[in-house]
Amino acid sequence: MFIDHKLINSIIDETKNPEVDEARKVIEKAKRKEKLSYKDIAILLSTEDESVVKDIYTLAGEIKESIYGKRIVMFAPLYVSDYCVNNCVYCGYQRCNEFKRRKLTMEEVKEEVKILEKMGHKRLALELGEDPVNAPIEYVLDCLDTIYKTQNENGEIRRVNVNIAATTVEEYKMLKEKGIGTYILFQETYNKDVYEYMHPKSLKSNYEYHLTAFDRAMEAGIDDVGGGALFGLANYKFEVLGLMMHNAHLEEKFGVGFHTISVPRLKKANGVTMENFPNLLTDEEFKRVVAVLRIAVPFTGLILSTRETKEMRKEVLRYGVSQVSAGSSTGVGGYKDREENGKDDKQFQTSDERSPLEVINWLLDDGYIPSYCTACYRTGRTGDRFMTLAKSGEIQKVCEPNAITTLVEYALDYGDEAFKEKAITTAKKVASELKDPKTKKIVENNIERLQKGERDLFL
């Protein structure tokens, strides 16, 4: 198996107290854009010298700025079913929990999508528990059809990323045929012993089957996959090295690694007692994880959800995170429940309860450009094609211009007059600073065309 537990543990032991000079050599290596070894990554996670730690954050910020500029991709989750046959000890959906289970009808899915569209969202992450009887692959496919067909006055969902349980090549082919974006699956923990303890007597109990899900997805033709670990289940250093080994395996076998990595931290949920988890991360450890991941895999998107507070989200945006959710509900039918009752039942505790418009205003005030762009997916810039463009720097010629364009589209369709003025002024300023004259002209022209009522003007 490509996750070498013995090697990971030996590296963690070897790098418990790295020398300052050793850590600085790794930083210089990263500055030269050389690939870091697993030991290098562990050194950056372990060093305690304050000046070195400061340099890690500075370097991570510089790398993020050079590759992603000021754009931040926006999305929201859509939970459609909480039926689950697994008994994951960290999850509110675990089958031993006594609560009224729910699965959305296609009409209810449509209602949720319309609410999400009214928020301005164009990109969703489809989420559901694992239950082959109550929520089989056919149900997932029906949900995808409904989402893509649902149209509001101002727009539609243009990309649906899918987070469903590990499955077969045949079923991944079905997802591919429905036009999904990224297939997302968290390993939860890369430590096999911990994994088996956390998933007792479940379909999900098979560590190897879960671990090789991306192999089957890529064999089925899905070339954008997103990994992640649930930080807090096992030693966080083990999880980061496991993610890097998994990424290396995919690069070696398929020519492209993770399109995204998610960094969720374990949060309180129904039936979950936090005192039973000895590996919870401190805020400082979590921030280091984000910064080191940004240095280790510069071109991989890092996703942060509303599990984290607005203060934490603000901080890690500076040196790592490139995608954030906004206005999220983690309950089945939660968007309608929240709209009608002011609250929703959540799968787990969230911390940032601001609306998408509040989040976008916050991002603009901090100098970012919120992006609702899905053009890469719709034009086939996925998998190794995307990574080739990203590593050459050419992707910047479409990503930042499209972020500017989608910001203006959002402002015109969903903002009040004050926000429209703020967003369009910001967009024009950023467009004027684009280095490529041709791209600059296209974006400035797109802003004018959007104000005249045209839409979908992306590169």
The pTM of the full predicted model, rounded to 2 decimals, is 0.94
Q: Which CATH number fits domain 70-353: 3.20.20.70, 1.10.760.10, 3.40.50.620, 3.40.50.1400?
A: 3.20.20.70
In degrees and rounded to multiples of 5, residue 251 shows phi and psi of -65, -40
pLDDT tens digit sequence for 370-407 = 999 887 877 778 888 888 877 877 777 788 888 999 99
Mean pLDDT to the nearest integer, 156-170? 96
Enumerate the CATH 3.20.20.70 domain ranges in the chain, comma separated. 70-353
Tell me which H or E stretch contains 304.
strand 301-304
Position 260 scores a pLDDT of 97
- The answer for residues whose C-beta is within 8 angstroms of residue 412's C-beta and 6 or more apart is 420, 450, 451
**46-60, 259-273, 407-421, 423-437: which is most confident:** 46-60
Position 153 scores a pLDDT of 77
Position 286 scores a pLDDT of 97
pLDDT tens digit sequence for 291-310 = 999 999 999 999 999 899 99
pLDDT of 411 > 90? The answer is yes
| Residue 326 and residue 120 in contact, taking contact as beta carbons nearer than 8 Å | no
| Residue 111 and residue 336 in contact, taking contact as beta carbons nearer than 8 Å | yes
More confident of the two residues 458 and 209: 209
**121-135, 261-275, 442-456: which is most confident:** 121-135
Helix spans in 200-282 (H): 207-211, 213-219, 236-254
Helix spans in 342-395 (H): 356-365, 375-378, 383-392
* Paired tokens of 330: 């983690």
Position 73 scores a pLDDT of 95
Cα 107 to Cα 364: distance, rounded to the nearest angstrom:
35
pLDDT of 435 > 70? The answer is yes
DSSP calls for 82-139? -------TT-TT-TTS-S---B--HHHHHHHHHHHHHTT--EEEEEE--BTTTB-HHH
The residues facing 161 across adjacent strands are 125
Mean pLDDT to the nearest integer, 134-150? 97
Tell me which H or E stretch contains 385.
helix 383-392
Region at 339 (left for phi over 0; alpha for psi -120 to 50; beta for the rest): alpha
- Amino acid identity of residue 456, one-letter, is D
Residues counted in the chain: 459
SS3 71: strand
pLDDT of 204 > 60? The answer is yes
pLDDT of 187 > 70? The answer is yes
More confident of the two residues 402 and 28: 28
* Paired tokens of 360: 């976008």
The residues facing 338 across adjacent strands are none
Position 56 scores a pLDDT of 98
pLDDT of 8 > 90? The answer is yes
Tell me which H or E stretch contains 68.
helix 50-68
Position 390 scores a pLDDT of 79
**Considering the chain, what is the average pLDDT of its residues?**
93
pLDDT of 347 > 60? The answer is no
Mean pLDDT to the nearest integer, 174-192? 97
Position 344 scores a pLDDT of 62
pLDDT classification of 459: cutoffs 50, 70, 90: low
